[in-house]
Amino acid sequence: MSISDRARSLFLASMSVLTLVACGEAERPIAGADPGEPGGTVLIALVGEPRTLLPALMGHEHEQAIVEVVYDRLAEIGPALDVSDVAQFAPRLARRWEWADDSLSIAFTLDTRERWHDGAPLVANDVVRTFALYTHPLVENGTASLLGNIDSVTAPDASTAVFWFKQRAPQQLYDAVHHMFIMPSHLLADVDPAALAAAPIARAPVGTGRFRFVRWTSDGRIELVADTANARGRPPLDRIVYEPVPDVGAAMTKLLAGESDFAANLLPQTMDQVANSATVRALAYPSMRYQLMSFNLRAPGPGARPHPVLGDRAVRRALSMAVNRERIVRAVFDSLGEPAIGPVPRLGLSDTLAITPLPYDVEAARTLLDSADWRVAGPDGVRARDGVRLRVRVMVPSTSENRSRMAVLLQDQWQRVGAELVVQQLEVNTLRERLADGEYDAVTNGWSLSPGLVGLRQVWMTSAIGADNYARYGSDVVDANIDSTLLAFDTETRTRTLHRLVQTIIDDAPAIWLVEDRVLAGMHRRIEPGPPTPLGWWHGLAQWQIAPEQRLDRDRIGLRTAP
Amino acid sequence: MWAASTLVFVLLRLAPGDPYAMRFEGLPLPRATIEARRAQRGLDDPMPVQYARWLGNIVRGELGWSEQHQRPVRDVIADLLPRTALLMGLALVTSLSLGMWLGAWQGTRAGSFGDQVATTSTLVLYSLPEFWLALLLLQLFVQTLGWLPATGMVSAMHEILPFGERVRDRLEHLVLPWLALSLVGVSVFARFQRSSMRDAWREPFVRTARAKGVAERGVRWHAWRTALAPVIALAGLTLPALVGGAVFVERIFAWPGMGNATVSAVNARDYDLVTAAVLLSSAVTVFGSLLADLVQRMVDPRVGS
Amino acid sequence: MSARRRTLVPLLALACFVVLALGAPWLAPAPPNAIPADGLIQSLPPTVEHPFGTDPLGRDVLSRMLHGARVSLSVAFLSVALASLVGTTYGAAAGWIGGRVDALCMRLLDVALAVPRLLVLLLMSALWGTLPLHTLVLLLGLTGWYDVARLVRSDVRGLRERDFVLAARATGVREARILWRHVVPHVWPTLVVTATLGVANTIALEAGLSFLGLGVQPPDASWGTILRDGQLPGGARWWLTVFPGAALVLAVLTCNALGDALRESFAPRQVAA
């Protein structure tokens, strides 16, 4: 699995409780053991070379894994990842926050003990500057669209930053704190936003996090050490070194050879190898991502005519019912995935039993196709109607082995009901261009939903046709219910409208929801990853520790850094 | 050189995508930002305008900005080039010297048992696809024997090692990629040198020289010099690899060099980096063939004296 | 080994490869793309039923290799044939006309040589989107003729001043006829040798491209894609690396050995000509 294979997420968010995968022998967690003297060096293999370490420019997971350790947010969302449950948010750079009476502004009081790694104090102007850069049109940043409800940020005094909102919404606090990492204004004051990437701080970050930046070597290694002067205390580890590798195969090699302590996004089929290694253990991070095959409901091209095959709801339902998703998931992801339910992953639904997926029923699929007048015509067993073959071309990114495998399995299963699936492996650029032009029948892709489910708008609303609504699907019922779900302040309404919209989309079958897969990572057994982290493997790095008796030579180097 | 990079310039711009479309696997850039950026970088101008601007920059020595690395292309290449040159240079020197020695030795005793063994082994080596050989070496030396580090140029904690250890660390990391490249390289040069040496060995002047009572070593030297021409030409053709790198070997051993960087730059549509890399490699191509000509003149007794 | 045997052995081996490839539909124990209809879909080590094991989608590796041989070999043969055709025409034209045209042609060749082949292939495949087999053949052929052109050109230039050509010209034979009757036959040995070596080269290159993710579209296979499918570090699922890898190396070796042997057997005649 390469970088581009990872689900293209709407919000960068993977979530929920970290689980240890059972792997033949019982885990012996060293939790509870006294960490003793802090110490330890963790080597992390990253697939892909980071381009920048400036929060406002970062976009890839392998950049975020570093940025999140060096920089901080104003506050962190609670472990339940409920965006509207404001009581659960934990202070970080902001000590506390107060809502205005009209709920249209929130005033954050900054923690005055916080210092930048260069010794300068944290000031409210840092927040103002951060917001200005994140939303500047020339700053290449994908999160800007998520900050749309924030009108402006002001600094009435040095330790107070006020966020002004355009309208009341349940996720106001989340919007204000979650998407931005605060950057130092004193190092960014004279920088031209259009040339932000060329600023020294982009390659030598100065943050407030519990690790500080030491070096970025010419061969791409990035070294961080514990910030001993940090207001929240020094972390248990001494040092983190990130090493870029060209692909996940090289990461795996490094991990098994003991040259790396951690690598994420390993191929699911390497699970056994990781788990059976004497030095490495397997971890699986549940996520809110799912992979699907989206049908193009409109004829390929710009127009709004229905697709000659996929425009028909009955055909789409039949094609969905012909698919044994359980079998596909077992074959490709083994224990690291579950068949996806629909447009919202399990973790986003309070009651999965309230949703009825389309059944796997080959006979029913055949009957549906027969009654829609798609009949087997030629000797190859493919159905046709009025001279049109029941043939769908599916685009698969050439970098993604797992999606190709799923497509081949789909092809095999469709064949049994007389439908032909043609797999087209495409270079990612070409694939994107065809998506933008609407020139496709179907595409395998993945989405990762944010805690607030705001992404539903971008993927399934009529207004998103031509953008990220790859199915080019439009339904008034769905549109209305998405709006109600996102704007509802009470849980009951929210749940009701959410279930209604999910069921409507599933019944219309604009896609086949294939899998909710988990992120496989390998970690050296001596490392204790600490309390479960809700957002991505890197999120808890400041809590990772290595018990003194388990330490290797490199764990005893201490804080010493070479010049 | 010119034409080569122009060709790539055109191909790159014709290919779908731009440096911004590929930017995020996570959040796509807002359309407004992409448009602003494209406008700022002049990517919406007609191709001739873009080409003229690019040409002007090159003439002024401006290589441009790498969108993929978010750094000036000059800096990116300054990082990549020494690493590639080190690996490829070592491999080239080894292949050339060992290959010429082996080939010359074989050429003088063509048909002997030793020659047949050598011919067969070079043939086998020559037939091994580079990536397959690299995987094999990785399996053998790292996963089975555990003698050598698997990937990268240095170990993670290289900087804090004492000087002696640092040198050792570097060398250890160099062994496998060097071996993979050299094994194939030696077989290529040896095969060339063998056939040219054998031909030279059959030339009348060898018999004449022997008859004149020239020492065997002198005869061999003379024959070798006449047999050098094709090998030098081949070496000249191999020279661009010094800056081009070796994609498969770099990828398998995670050697951060030009080869893999260029391929990923193509995929990321990092226009300036790709064109700069091609410019560089075509410059070395031209230089290589000139150099080969020059050396041939110097060595060949029939041309030189 | 006698010269005759040196040619014969690889020739027979190559013939075997071709027969296996052509006979794939009858020889293969299972359809190449057949996924088990029920039971677990998984990669299994060699058994009696699946002598080379199964791939991650439970398909029979031996059958996929036999069918893959068709792809790998036909891509190599066809693209080399194309390259030889283009290269010969280009080289012969340049060498025969000579003068400025020749110089220009050689400069153009230098340009083409200056761009790394892999880069051109990557860019062109991006332009095309998918790479159907005929496109792959076209691409490999159109980027593989430079060597042929060079060699043919130098041969032709040498021949141009030879007595029999001059004699033919003096008797008023048309240029095209001279080229066809007198020159091309002399170029033939060079061509056969470079083509054979070229086939070896292209088989390896195709596998390399598949390794980078460019190549035949699923569910079909070439040796390269089978290798790529099975590539796991640490020697796991060795049957997915060893068998297709061995086939690949053997095929390349055979072609190289044949090329060498042909060169040897042609050499004296060339000297005598």
Question: Which of A3, A49, A221 to substitute to test the interface with B, most B CBs within 10 Å?
Answer: A221
CA of C78 to nearest chain A CA: how many angstroms apart?
A: 23
**SS3 state of residue A284:** strand
Q: What are phi and psi of A237, to 5 degrees?
A: -80, 155
Query: Which token pair is B304?
Result: 């030189």
From the list A273, A401, A430, the residue facing C234 with the nearest CB is A273
Domain extent for B86:
76-304
| Interface contacts (A, B; CB < 8 Å) | 158
Task: Please report the domains of chain C, with CATH numbers, ordered by start residue.
Answer: 3-20+53-272 (1.10.3720.10)
pLDDT at A222: 95
B99 lies in the same domain as B23: no
pLDDT at A16: 29
Mean pLDDT, rounded, of chain C = 83
Q: Does residue B264 belong to any structural domain of this protein?
A: yes
CA of A544 to nearest chain C CA: how many angstroms apart?
A: 27
Q: List the 392-421 stretch of A: residues with Cβ below 8 A of B.
A: none
C265 touches chain B (CB under 8 A): no
Q: What is the mean pLDDT of residues B18-41?
A: 68
DSSP A517-547: EPEEEEEETTEE--S--SS-GGGGGGG-EE-
Task: Report yes or no: B143 and C233 within 8 Å, Cβ to Cβ.
Answer: yes
The shares of helix, strand and coil residues in chain C, as percent rounded to the nearest 5, are 75, 0, 25
A209 confidence band (pLDDT: 50, 70, 90)? very high
Q: Does residue B71 belong to any structural domain of this protein?
A: no
Which stretches within A322-423 are classed as H helix?
A: 325-333, 362-371, 401-415
Inter-chain touch A424–C217, beta carbons under 8 Å? yes
The one-letter amino acid at B104:
A
Query: Which token pair is A532?
Result: 């479960």
Q: Where does a domain end: B35, B62, B89?
A: B62
B244 lies in the same domain as B300: yes
pLDDT > 70 fraction of chain A, expressed in percent and rounded? 93
A270 touches chain C (CB under 8 A): yes
pLDDT tops 80 at residue A22: no
B179 lies in the same domain as B89: yes
Using one digit for the tens of pLDDT, what is the confidence trace for A525-535?
Answer: 999 986 666 57
Judge residue A104's burial from the number of C-beta atoms within 10 Å of its C-beta, 0-12 exposed, 13-18 middle, 19 or more buried: middle
pLDDT at A496: 93
Pick the residue with more confidence: C272 or A331?
Answer: A331
- The CATH number that applies at residue B144 is 1.10.3720.10
Q: List the 226-265 stretch of C: residues with Cβ below 8 A of A.
A: 228-229, 231-234, 236
B198 confidence band (pLDDT: 50, 70, 90)? confident
- Closest-CA residue of chain B to A193: B37
The one-letter amino acid at A540:
G
Lowest mean pLDDT among A186-190, A332-336, A452-456, A485-489: A452-456
pLDDT at C164: 79
Task: Report yes or no: B259 and B177 within 8 Å, Cβ to Cβ.
Answer: no
Inter-chain touch A254–B151, beta carbons under 8 Å? yes
pLDDT at A272: 83
- Closest-CA residue of chain B to A64: B26
pLDDT at C158: 80
Long-range contacts of residues A161-166, Cβ cutoff 8 Å, at least 24 apart: A161/A74, A161/A94, A161/A107, A161/A108, A161/A110, A161/A124, A161/A127, A161/A128, A162/A105, A162/A106, A162/A107, A162/A108, A163/A105, A163/A106, A163/A108, A164/A104, A164/A105, A165/A103, A165/A104, A165/A105, A165/A106
- What is d(CA A345, CA A561) in angstroms, rounded to the nearest whole number? 45
From the list B36, B157, B260, the residue facing A137 with the nearest CB is B36
- What is d(CA B54, CA B6) in angstroms, rounded to the nearest whole number? 10
pLDDT at A6: 35
CA of B85 to nearest chain A CA: how many angstroms apart?
A: 14
- What is d(CA A359, CA A356) in angstroms, rounded to the nearest whole number? 8
Low-confidence ranges of chain C (pLDDT < 50): 269-273
Number of structural domains (chain B) is 2
Pick the residue with more confidence: A293 or B193?
Answer: A293
CA of A11 to nearest chain B CA: how many angstroms apart?
A: 7
Which stretches within A121-246 are classed as H helix?
A: 124-134, 172-178, 200-203
Using one digit for the tens of pLDDT, what is the confidence trace for B274-302?
Answer: 888 888 888 888 788 788 888 878 776 65
B40 touches chain C (CB under 8 A): no
Q: Does residue B49 belong to any structural domain of this protein?
A: yes
B2 confidence band (pLDDT: 50, 70, 90)? low
Q: Does residue B11 belong to any structural domain of this protein?
A: yes
Pick the residue with more confidence: A54 or A518?
Answer: A54
Q: Where does a domain end: B37, B62, B87?
A: B62
Chain C neighbors of B263, CB-CB under 8 A: 118-119, 122, 212
Using one digit for the tens of pLDDT, what is the confidence trace for B220-260?
Answer: 888 888 788 778 888 887 887 777 778 888 888 888 888 88
pLDDT at A479: 94
- What is d(CA A279, CA A258) in angstroms, rounded to the nearest whole number? 8
pLDDT at B21: 60
Helix axes A476-487, A491-508, angle to 10 degrees: 150
B46 lies in the same domain as B151: no
pLDDT at C237: 79
Nearest to A262 by CA among A290, A232, A241: A241
B7 touches chain C (CB under 8 A): yes
B297 lies in the same domain as B274: yes
- Closest-CA residue of chain C to A272: C236
B72 touches chain A (CB under 8 A): yes
Q: Does residue B239 belong to any structural domain of this protein?
A: yes
Q: Where does a domain end: B36, B62, B88?
A: B62
- DSSP label of A67: H
Pairing, β A41-47 against β A262-266: parallel
B102 lies in the same domain as B152: yes
pLDDT at A26: 33
Mean pLDDT, rounded, of chain A = 87
From the list C129, C219, C228, the residue facing A408 with the nearest CB is C219
B228 lies in the same domain as B101: yes
pLDDT at B1: 63
- DSSP label of A229: T
B46 lies in the same domain as B150: no
Q: Does residue B67 belong to any structural domain of this protein?
A: no
B31 confidence band (pLDDT: 50, 70, 90)? confident
Pick the residue with more confidence: C12 or B159?
Answer: C12
pLDDT at B8: 74
pLDDT tops 70 at residue B305: no
Nearest to A226 by CA among A559, A561, A541: A559
ipTM for the complex? 0.85
**SS3 state of residue A210:** coil
pLDDT tops 50 at residue A397: yes
DSSP A331-342: HHHGGGEEE--S
Question: Which of A47, A256, A259, A273 to substitute to test the interface with C, most C CBs within 10 Å?
Answer: A273
- Closest-CA residue of chain B to C260: B123
- Closest-CA residue of chain A to C210: A398
- Closest-CA residue of chain A to C212: A399
Pick the residue with more confidence: B126 or B45?
Answer: B126
Task: Report yes or no: A115 and A122 within 8 Å, Cβ to Cβ.
Answer: yes
Using one digit for the tens of pLDDT, what is the confidence trace for A43-93?
Answer: 999 988 888 999 998 888 889 999 999 999 999 988 878 888 888 899 999
Give the other-Cβ count within 10 Å of B184's Cβ.
22
pLDDT at B259: 87
**SS3 state of residue A108:** strand
Q: How many helices (H) and strands (E) does chain B have?
A: 15, 2
A246 touches chain B (CB under 8 A): yes
- Closest-CA residue of chain A to C34: A412
B31 lies in the same domain as B103: no
- What is d(CA A485, CA A493) in angstroms, rounded to the nearest whole number? 7
In sequence order, what are the beta bridge partners of A375? A384
Mean pLDDT, rounded, of chain B = 82
The whole-angstrom distance between residue B230's C-alpha and the CA centroid of its chain comes to: 19
Q: What are phi and psi of B220, to 5 degrees?
A: -60, -45
Q: Does residue B280 belong to any structural domain of this protein?
A: yes
B26 lies in the same domain as B147: no
B288 lies in the same domain as B165: yes
From the list A249, A405, A423, the residue facing C217 with the nearest CB is A423
Helix (H) or strand (E) holding C89: helix C61-97
A60 touches chain B (CB under 8 A): yes
Q: Which residues of C230-251 are buried (b: 16+ CB within 10 A; e: fewer)?
A: bbbbbebbbbbbbbbbebbbeb
Q: List the 142-201 stretch of B: residues with Cβ below 8 A of C.
A: 143-144, 195
B128 lies in the same domain as B56: no
From the list C33, C41, C126, the residue facing A327 with the nearest CB is C41
pLDDT at B300: 67
The one-letter amino acid at C272:
A
A464 touches chain B (CB under 8 A): no
Using one digit for the tens of pLDDT, what is the confidence trace for B102-151?
Answer: 988 888 887 788 888 888 899 889 888 888 888 888 888 877 777 888 78
DSSP A469-513: -TT----HHHHHHHHHHHH--SHHHHHHHHHHHHHHHHHH-SEEE
Q: Does residue B298 belong to any structural domain of this protein?
A: yes
pLDDT tops 90 at residue B195: no
Inter-chain touch B11–C252, beta carbons under 8 Å? no
pLDDT tops 60 at residue A256: yes
Question: Which of B84, B151, B154 to substitute to test the interface with A, most A CBs within 10 Å?
Answer: B151
